[in-house]
Each structure stands twice: as structure tokens, then as C-alpha cells.
Structure 1
Amino acid sequence: MATSAATGAVTAGLVDFQAGRNPRLAATVNGVSTTLGLAVGALGSGLLVQYAPMPTTLVHALLIAVFLITTSGVALMPETAARRPGAWRSHRPRVAVPGRIRPHFLLSTPSLVALWALGGFHLSLGPALTATVLHAQNVLVAGVVVGILTASGALGSFTLRRREPRGVLVIGSVALAAGMVVTLVGVAAGVPAAYLVGTAVAGYGCGAFFLGAFGALAPLAAPEERASLFSTVYVVSYLAFGIPAIAAGVASTAFGLRATAVGHAAALIVLAGSVLVGLAVRGRGGETGREA
């Protein structure tokens, strides 16, 4: 709850702090830091659980220390908004998408759902699937696979940071779909190399989706609209993170892990394709409007 409550404000703060000469900086930092943090967490946790003493407590002790350091840093940050009456009232949760931004928000929604659903699947059933495909019971191996997915996402956000959001979303759609196809081959045929390569390519597509969605939405929101807009984005994202993972857990019990992975991958390919369709329709509409 604390993490999700902070993400909307953190994202809005990044936009407030970015220099005017670099309007894509906030989206880049947001995409790279989130996915890189997941990669470090997956690899670090895998190492600690597999090889360090106190595997069930050391990870949490280190995280508590990191959070305390972060808290002191946040306390030293300058405030970007003017103070005004109603401090307690301002804590009331608000999610809203201004009318002029809704078409862009709806266009970005399939990409948000796809990237978070893929992440949720890998963080929930990924270790079991990794053990099945790679025939490895080492906890670190599962952490490495999650690290490959998320580190590739950070790479995607960083390498595509200078491109326009529309082009980034196109690249994300193609990469995610291609990555899931290769992953399907690896899962169905039991080929570890294909499974790892597909995971990396799909992770790159996730990073592109993250960057493209936020890059498209961030410049459109006025300063007073940012927190509620980004909170709405994260409401959609966390629902996509959790609900498909629960559904996949139920499905894997009923139909098996491999069949569930195939069905999940197929759904993600459809979502990636819907982003391309939406961009094409939106592009034709824009051209028609200019001609009129």
C-alpha cells in the first residue's frame, strides 16, 4: 500500500523536477529506475536467499535500511507545489483523467496492461516455469530470469529515450509480441535458450511500453493534474499486475503450468497487436482531421 500510494506522487515529482529543455527525462528516469530496481531486487534476493545466512530475514533487514536512507533523502527534497489550506483533505485518494487526455490514456492502456501482466506472471509463476524449462531448482536461477526480463526493460527505456512516444510504442508492440512467440517456442519445446532469449526480447518491449505510455501522457497534464493522472495509470497497472497473476495461478492448477504459460503469452500477443491497431486508427484520424 505504501509503495502504490507513493508512485503517483513520485512520478508527478519527476515531471516537476525535470529540466524544461529535456521533456522526456522524467519518463526515462521513471522507466529505467522502476525496471532496474526490479532487476536488482530479483538478482539480489536470489543471491541472498540461496547463499547468505538468515535467508528469510536478511532481505527484509536490508530493505528496511534502504527505506530509512531513502526517507531521509525525501525529507531534504524541495517542495515543488505552493502550500495552501486543506492539507488533510489533500490526502483523500483521487484518480482522474482529464477529458482531453482520455483518448491518449485509452490508447496507452493496452500497453500498460501487457507490460504489467507479463511482470506479474514472471514474479508469481515465473520461478516454477523456470524450474520446469531450465530443470534448475536453484533460487538464484529464478532471480536471474526475472533480472533478464526487468534489466532488458531498463535497457529498452534507456536506448529509446530520444524517440517520439508513438514510435516507442510501435517498437514495444513488435518486441513484446516477438519475445512472447520465442518464449512460447522455448516453453513448448523445452528449449532453455529460446526461453531466455524470448524473455529478454519481451522485457525490452516492456521497457518500450513503459517509456512510450508515460512519454505520451506526461506532457499533456497540467501540474495540478499530474498526481491524479499518474495515480490512475498505476491503478490500471497494479490491477494488471495482480489479477492476471491470480488467474494464471488458478489456471495452472486446473490446466497445468505449460498450458497456462501458452495462454498467457497468446493474450499478451493480442494486447501488443491491439496497440498497433490503435496507433494506426489514431494516426488515420489525425490525418483526416488535418486534411479537414
Structure 2
Amino acid sequence: MTSEPSTLPRLVEERPLPRRGLGFVAVVASLVMVFAASGAPIPLYERYRAAEGLTTGDLSLAAVAYFVAVMVALVVLGRLSDHVGRRAVALAAVVLAAAGSLSLLDVTGLGVLVTGRVLQGVACGLGSSAIAAAIVDLAPARSRWIAATAVAGSPLIGLTLGALGSGALAEHGPAPLQSPSLIVSALLAVCGVLLVLSPEPVARRSGALRSLRPQVHLPQAIRPLLPAAVAVFCGTWALGGFYQAFSPTISAQQLGTDSTLVAAVVFASFMAPYALGGPLTGRLSPFAAQRLGIVVFALAVLGVVAGLRSGTILAVVLCGMVAGAAQGAAFTGSLRGLLGRIGPGERAGLMATVYLFSYGGAAVPSLLSGRLTAAGVSLQTLSLGYAVLAGLAAAVVLLTAGTGRGPDTGAMR
């Protein structure tokens, strides 16, 4: 998925654009809302299960469908906006996210749920590529750090706001299974209007069909760092898949409450603190942040398991928060190490590959978990498997992190 520097589209810095500030606000709001749409159904899973006779295995399958859709969009559609423009692909992401939300207004079975989640997954994949690139293109020229902050934080903010807002509406608002989708769709429509009014930051160029050819990019320079990095990506995102699939069931079966708001808090307790991990370990070297983050993550997962087994919601929430922040530290440390080995022309392809490993790390355990719960394995027992995965990831990192040291560009130090 790497574009050669000579064929890169003309970026906004090369030509002044009207309404640049509006464009920046529009793309940041759009990225937040696309992921908010993805987070909104998660607290409602238990109500879907109770009303429509779905099983925990069905909920896990819906999570897998979402992850696979994101992965396909990243690999196949990740370069499309370089050819047809950021705005067109960003609008497509917003429309797909709204379509996914509207399709979940009346969940009558697994097929409807999977359809909605697939549409939302494709939207998130497009958002992670086209909208994120547009944020970089339209960011204020004098404060370039804002772009990195917005790209990293918007998905997490969106997931958290979507889950918490949906949980609160389902608990205290009218039409509990419909109002979250309607409100998210209305806000996405506002984002669509803002995008239409925004400038196009790149010039169109030929090759759109060729850009759809799937590619996975692994530069030679980063390969010594891959064992530790892949262990982090897979080990930490696996727990994210667990939270996405089972947060409502955890609240209902293990914590003794069917509150959608509690389910949203359980989910958000892991997702929201992710954004803190990078800044908290920013002064450490990439390898030190990677090691510290994954060790704290593994210990926090043990705390989550203990909370589940004892039915203590406070332990689950607090340890989930620590695990989320530790994931952020380990993930950003790993990413800094990888990006420090390559030049700008290889970064787009690398990012797609990083998220491919990450979503794969979430999808495969979620698929296995669904099969196991269908066979009668309890969530308490299942959570032990995720603790084992976290421990294995920590062991791999401690044994291999930093062993591939060598010259790097220093770009992300």
C-alpha cells in the first residue's frame, strides 16, 4: 500500500485553499462520528440477545464480521482517496456509517446485526485511511502536532462517546433500541453537509482501479522489530475484541446488572484511557515504553479476570482503565520504533499493515471465543484465555524488544 514519493497527490500545503479551517473541523468531526456510530450498538448487545434469542456466540460473530470488514477496507480501499480525492471517500465513509446505524433500528436476528456491523466496519476502515489523511492535509500549518493528536484520538473519543451516549439513551431515553441509531445518523448527516462545504485537499489522479489491488507492506528495515510489535498488536487488541463482544453480557451475567449504561461504562473503561498511554510514556524510548506498557497490561488483565470471577464491577472498571492506558503505551511505543526505521514514503503502507495485524489480533480470538461460548464455556473461564494471551505477549516483548536495534531515521523518537 505504499505510494512512491514522485506519485503522491498534491497536498494542501502546495496551494492555498478556501475554508481550510471548516474542512479541518469537518474531517475531525466526521472521524469521531464514524467511530461513534461503531460504538453505539455495543451496549445494546445484551438487549438484542434477550429480545431476539441471540447467543453470546452470535454476538462474537457480529464482532468478527466488523473486524473483518475493517481489515478488508484497509487492505483494499486504503489508497483509494489518493486517486479519487479525500472528500469523496470521506463522504462514502459517513454514508456507510449512517446506513449501518439505520439498519440496526430493528434488529430482528443475527443477519441484520451482522449487516449493520459490516457496513460500520467498512466505514471505519475508510475513515482510518481517507479521513485520517484529510486531517493531516488540512491541519493548521503552524501546529502540525494537532494532526497527530486528532488522528490518534478521534476514533477512541468516538467509540467512547458512542457507547456511553447509547447506554445512557437506552437506559433513560425514549425508544431505547432506536434513539441511539437515529441520533447518530442525524449527526452523521450534519458531518456530510460539512464535508460537502469543505475544500478538497488533494488533486485527483489516475490509477483508482489499480489502487484496489490488496497489498501488505513490510519494509526490510522493520523486520527485526516485528516479533515484539506483532505480539503487542495482537495481544492487546484481543482484549479490545473481548470487550466489544462481551461487555453487555459481562454486565448482565457476571456483574449482576442489565443496565446498558453500566455496559457502556465497562466498554469505555478499556477504550477511553488508551489515549493517555502515549503521552504518559512519551519521554521513554520506544522500546522502554513497549516493555513497560505490555507488562502493566498483562497485570491489569489479571485484575480484570479477578473482578469478573468475584463479580466486582469496580475492579473490572479500574483494571480495564489501567489495561487501556497500558495498551496505549505499548502500542505507541511499538509504532514509534517501527516508524523510526522507515522514510515518509513507506508510512502509509506500514500503517495499513499495523492495523491489519491489530484487527486480526482482535478477530481471531473473538471467533474462537464465540465457538467456545456456544459450547458452554463461561465468560469467567474465557477471560483466563485472554490473560494467557496477554502473558504470552509480555513474554515475547521482554525477550525480543530492542534486540533488533540499528540505524533509524529518528523521525518518531
* C-alpha RMSD of matched pairs (Å): 3.0
Q: Deviations over 1:64-97 (max 9, x none)?
A: 23333434555525536x6543244334343312
Aligned mates of 2:289, 2:138 — CA distance in 1: 23
Which of 340, 358, 363 is the matching residue for 1:242? 363
Give the direction of change, closer, same or farther, for the CA distance of 1:217–1:191 in structure 2 (3 Å limit): same
Aligned mates of 1:84, 1:90 — CA distance in 2: 11
Give the direction of change, closer, same or farther, for the CA distance of 1:46–1:282 in structure 2 (3 Å limit): same
- 5+ long unaligned stretches in structure 1: 288-292
What TM-score comes out, normalization by structure 1 length? 0.83
Shift of 1:38: 1.8
| Correspondence 1:60 to 2:181 | yes
Give the direction of change, closer, same or farther, for the CA distance of 1:74–1:232 in structure 2 (3 Å limit): farther
| Correspondence 1:145 to 2:273 | no
Shift of 1:176: 0.5
Which of 308, 315, 318 is the matching residue for 1:187? 308
Q: Matched residues, percent identical?
A: 32
Aligned mates of 1:158, 1:107 — CA distance in 2: 21
Shift of 1:175: 1.7
Give the direction of change, closer, same or farther, for the CA distance of 1:6–1:37 in structure 2 (3 Å limit): closer
Aligned mates of 2:210, 2:140 — CA distance in 1: 30
Which of 251, 256, 265 is the matching residue for 2:378? 256
Which of 358, 378, 388 is the matching residue for 1:266? 388
Give the direction of change, closer, same or farther, for the CA distance of 1:105–1:275 in structure 2 (3 Å limit): same
Q: Deviations over 1:150-200 (max 9, x none)?
A: 122122234334443222212211220110121222223333332222211
Aligned mates of 2:230, 2:148 — CA distance in 1: 16
Match for 2:385: what amino acid? G
Aligned mates of 1:107, 1:73 — CA distance in 2: 41
Q: Deviations over 1:20-70 (max 9, x none)?
A: 999976654443322222221211111122222222222222222333343
Aligned mates of 2:390, 2:131 — CA distance in 1: 28
Greater per-residue helix proportion? 1
Aligned mates of 1:108, 1:194 — CA distance in 2: 28
Aligned mates of 2:317, 2:297 — CA distance in 1: 14
Q: Deviations over 1:239-281 (max 9, x none)?
A: 2222211211222233222111112222122213322222153
Aligned mates of 1:143, 1:114 — CA distance in 2: 22
Which of 386, 394, 397 is the matching residue for 1:275? 397
Hey, what does 2:219 align to over in structure 1? 98
Match for 2:404: what amino acid? R
- 5+ long unaligned stretches in structure 2: 1-121, 408-413
Q: Are 1:155 and 1:204, in contact at CA under 8 Å, matched by a contact in 2?
A: yes
Which of 160, 177, 191 is the matching residue for 1:70? 191
Match for 1:52: what amino acid? G
Aligned mates of 1:23, 1:220 — CA distance in 2: 21
Hey, what does 1:215 align to over in structure 2? 336
Q: Are 1:177 and 1:272, in contact at CA under 8 Å, matched by a contact in 2?
A: yes
Match for 1:264: what amino acid? Y
What TM-score comes out, normalization by structure 2 length? 0.61
Give the direction of change, closer, same or farther, for the CA distance of 1:91–1:263 in structure 2 (3 Å limit): closer
Shift of 1:222: 3.7
Hey, what does 1:290 align to over in structure 2? none
